[in-house]
Chains A and B, each alone.
Chain A
Amino acid sequence: EVQLVESGGGLVQPGGSLKLSCAASGFTFSGSAMHWVRQASGKGLEWVGRIRSKANSYATAYAASVKGRFTISRDDSKNTAYLQMNSLKTEDTAVYYCTRLGPAGGAFDIWGQGTMVTVSS
């Protein structure tokens, strides 16, 4: 079965850190670019960042709102992508989804169920 499963969400204080994981199965993870997208409660979708495949030098890119604070990595031997979040702010509170950039049309064709991150004191 093709799926992505996120984990690692929770409650963290402002200024704190959290690391999310995204475990993939059912497709060739190593050849896929993986993205993170977040959604604050009652709001729309916001792209967070991405990591490309080894063939594309594991290149990363980030939204301006998280650049310098968040880091995306991957371990192809474990079919897992990660989102390291540092210096968290209350406005980072959201459901975080990992998603695969599909092979056609620049679309995100596989999504995880999401993991909730709450930044609050």
Chain B
Amino acid sequence: EIVLTQSPGTLSLSPGERATLSCRASQSVSSSYLAWYQQKPGQAPRLLIYGASSRATGIPDRFSGSGSGTDFTLTISRLEPEDFAVYYCQLGNTFGGGTKVEIK
């Protein structure tokens, strides 16, 4: 079974800064099936990125995904106030443990 490890656990940044979130798989995986989600308190997760690098409908272009093999990255180019949330990567039936992006 593939394990997804996200790092860091918490990222403390200021609005306008760049956020770089990591998702590492325990073995090489197809990037076609790697997705990223955003979750705010009291809300359901929202799909941001699928296929490792394709933005879902309505997702701003400050969100981008990259990576292949075992290492994947979600980048938020300039943090907006509404971007402070928890982010999860997912592959098949497995979710990573999440990265919380908090206001510094």
Contacts and interface: CB of A to CB of B under 8 A. Distances in A.
Q: Do A and B come from one complex?
A: yes
A91 interface: no
Interface stretch (B11-19, B20-28, B50-58, B71-79): B50-58
5 contacts: A45-B90, A47-B93, A105-B35, A105-B54, A111-B46
Contact of B45 (A45, A46, A102, A104): A45
B98 A44 contact: yes
B88 A44 contact: yes
Interface of A: 37, 44-47, 50, 61, 63, 97, 102, 104-109, 111-114
Interface residues of B, number: 24
A108 B90 contact: yes
A111 B44 contact: yes
B50 A106 contact: yes
Residue picked from B32, B39, B93, B96, most chain A C-beta under 10 Å: B93
Contacts of B33: 105-107
- Pick the 5 closest A-B CB pairs, nearest first: A105-B50, A107-B50, A107-B35, A106-B33, A105-B51
